[in-house]
Amino acid sequence: MTIRKRLTVLFTAGIAGLLLFFSLIIYWSLANDREDEYYSLLRHTAITKANLLLDAKVTPSVLQLIYRNAENTLFQEEVAIYDTSFRLLYHDAVEIDKVKETRRMINEIVAKKEIRFYQDSLQVVGILYAHRGNLYVITAAANDQQGYDKLRNLEYTLIITFFVAIIFIYFAGQFFASKALQPVSDMVDKVEEITATNLDLRLNEGNGKDEISELAVTFNAMLNRLEQSFDAQKEFVSNISHELRTPLTAMLTELQVTMEKERDNLFYKESIAHAISDAQKLVRLSNSLLDLAKANYDHTEISFKPVRLDEVLLDAQTDVLHNHPSFKVNMIFEKDIEDEQQIAVMGNAYLLRVALMNLIENGCKFSSDNECAVSIGYNDTLSIIRVQDKGIGISEADQKSIFTAFYRGENSEHSKGNGIGLSLSKKIVELHHGIIAVRSVPGAGTTFTISFPHR
Ligand code: ADP
| Confidence band of 455 (pLDDT split at 50, 70, 90) | confident
Average pLDDT for 132-141: 93
Q: What value does the mean pLDDT of the chain take? A: 90
Q: What is the distance in A from the centroid of ligand 1 to the CA of 223?
A: 32
Which pLDDT does position 294 carry in this prediction?
Answer: 73
Mutate which of 289, 354, 356, 394 to test ligand 1's pocket (most atoms within 8 Å of Cβ)?
A: 394
Which pLDDT does position 317 carry in this prediction?
Answer: 95
430 and 316 within one domain: yes
Ligand 1: does its nearest atom lie under 6 Å from the Cβ of 367?
no
Ligand 1: does its nearest atom lie under 6 Å from the Cβ of 408?
yes
Which pLDDT does position 27 carry in this prediction?
Answer: 96
What is the percentage of the chain residues whose pLDDT exceeds 70? 98
Residue where one domain finishes, among candidates 296, 324, 348: 296
Residues 367, 363: Cα–Cα separation, whole Å: 6
Whose alpha carbon is nearest atom 15 of ligand 1?
A: 409
Ligand 1: does its nearest atom lie under 6 Å from the Cβ of 394?
yes
Asked whether residue 445 is domain-assigned, the answer is yes
| Confidence band of 299 (pLDDT split at 50, 70, 90) | low
Average pLDDT for 18-27: 96
286 and 308 within one domain: no
Query: Domain of 12: which CATH number?
Result: 3.30.450.20
337, pLDDT greater than 90: no
Asked whether residue 176 is domain-assigned, the answer is no
Ligand 1: does its nearest atom lie under 6 Å from the Cβ of 446?
yes
Q: What is the distance in A from the centroid of ligand 1 to the CA of 426?
A: 13
**Which run of H or of E encompasses 432?**
none
Asked whether residue 191 is domain-assigned, the answer is no
130 and 7 within one domain: yes
Coil, strand or helix at 404: coil
282 and 227 within one domain: yes
Q: What is the distance in A from the centroid of ligand 1 to the CA of 414?
A: 11
Average pLDDT for 328-340: 89
Write out pLDDT tens, residues 162-194.
Answer: 999 999 999 999 999 998 888 888 888 988 988
Which pLDDT does position 297 carry in this prediction?
Answer: 63
Lowest mean pLDDT among 27-31, 149-153, 203-207, 409-413: 203-207
304 and 280 within one domain: no
290 and 308 within one domain: no
Ligand 1: does its nearest atom lie under 6 Å from the Cβ of 445?
no
Which pLDDT does position 413 carry in this prediction?
Answer: 84
Q: Which residues make Cβ contacts (< 8 Å) with residue 360, sequence separation at least 6?
A: 316, 317, 320, 327, 329, 372, 374, 387
- Please, what is the end-to-end C-alpha distance for the chain in angstroms? 52
Write out pLDDT tens, residues 107-127.
Answer: 999 999 999 999 888 999 999
Whose alpha carbon is nearest atom 19 of ligand 1?
A: 362
Ligand 1: does its nearest atom lie under 6 Å from the Cβ of 422?
yes
Helix orientation angle between 421-431 and 349-365, rounded to the nearest 10 degrees:
140
Asked whether residue 303 is domain-assigned, the answer is yes
Residues 437, 186: Cα–Cα separation, whole Å: 45
Q: What is the distance in A from the centroid of ligand 1 to the CA of 166?
A: 74
207 and 141 within one domain: no
Ligand 1: does its nearest atom lie under 6 Å from the Cβ of 366?
yes
Name the phi and psi angles at 179, rounded to 5.
Answer: -65, -45
Write out pLDDT tens, residues 228-287.
Answer: 878 877 877 877 787 788 789 989 999 999 999 999 999 999 999 999 988 988 888 888
Which pLDDT does position 34 carry in this prediction?
Answer: 96
Residues 228, 231: Cα–Cα separation, whole Å: 5
Contact 331, 314 (CB under 8 A): yes
Write out pLDDT tens, residues 342-363.
Answer: 899 998 888 899 899 999 999 9
Q: Which atom, in ligand 1's list, is nearest to the CA of 372?
A: 23
**Which run of H or of E encompasses 239?**
helix 211-259
Asked whether residue 411 is domain-assigned, the answer is yes
Asked whether residue 254 is domain-assigned, the answer is yes
Residue 270 sits in which domain range? 197-296
Which pLDDT does position 153 carry in this prediction?
Answer: 96
Distances (CA, A) of 85 to 32, 91, 105, 110, 135: 34, 16, 11, 10, 10
| Confidence band of 74 (pLDDT split at 50, 70, 90) | low
Which pLDDT does position 203 carry in this prediction?
Answer: 87
Whose alpha carbon is nearest atom 17 of ligand 1?
A: 409
Which pLDDT does position 198 carry in this prediction?
Answer: 85
Q: Which residues make Cβ contacts (< 8 Å) with residue 187, sequence separation at least 6?
A: 203, 204, 212, 215, 216, 219
Q: Which atom, in ligand 1's list, is nearest to the CA of 387?
A: 23
403, pLDDT greater than 90: yes
What is the percentage of the chain residues whose pLDDT exceeds 90? 57
Q: Which residues make Cβ contacts (< 8 Å) with residue 247, sequence separation at least 6?
A: 278, 279, 281, 282, 285
306 and 287 within one domain: no
**Residues paired with 116 in a beta bridge:** 125
Residue where one domain finishes, among candidates 243, 272, 296: 296
Please count the structural domains in the chain.
3
Q: What stretches of 301-421 adopt beta strand conformation (E)?
A: 305-308, 328-333, 344-347, 371-378, 382-389
| Confidence band of 407 (pLDDT split at 50, 70, 90) | confident
Residues 39, 31: Cα–Cα separation, whole Å: 12
Which pLDDT does position 93 carry in this prediction?
Answer: 84
Residues 254, 270: Cα–Cα separation, whole Å: 10
Query: Domain of 366: which CATH number?
Result: 3.30.565.10
CA angle 395, 397, 400 (to 5 degrees): 110
Distances (CA, A) of 38 to 92, 303, 335: 19, 92, 106
Residue where one domain finishes, among candidates 272, 296, 320: 296
Query: Domain of 208: which CATH number?
Result: 1.10.287
448 and 387 within one domain: yes
53, pLDDT greater than 80: yes
Q: What stretches of 145-234 adopt beta strand conformation (E)?
A: none
Asked whether residue 182 is domain-assigned, the answer is no
Asked whether residue 178 is domain-assigned, the answer is no
135 and 117 within one domain: yes
70 and 54 within one domain: yes
**Which run of H or of E encompasses 71?**
none
Residues 149, 155: Cα–Cα separation, whole Å: 10
Residues 289, 354: Cα–Cα separation, whole Å: 12
427 and 285 within one domain: no
Q: What is the distance in A from the centroid of ligand 1 to the CA of 427?
A: 15
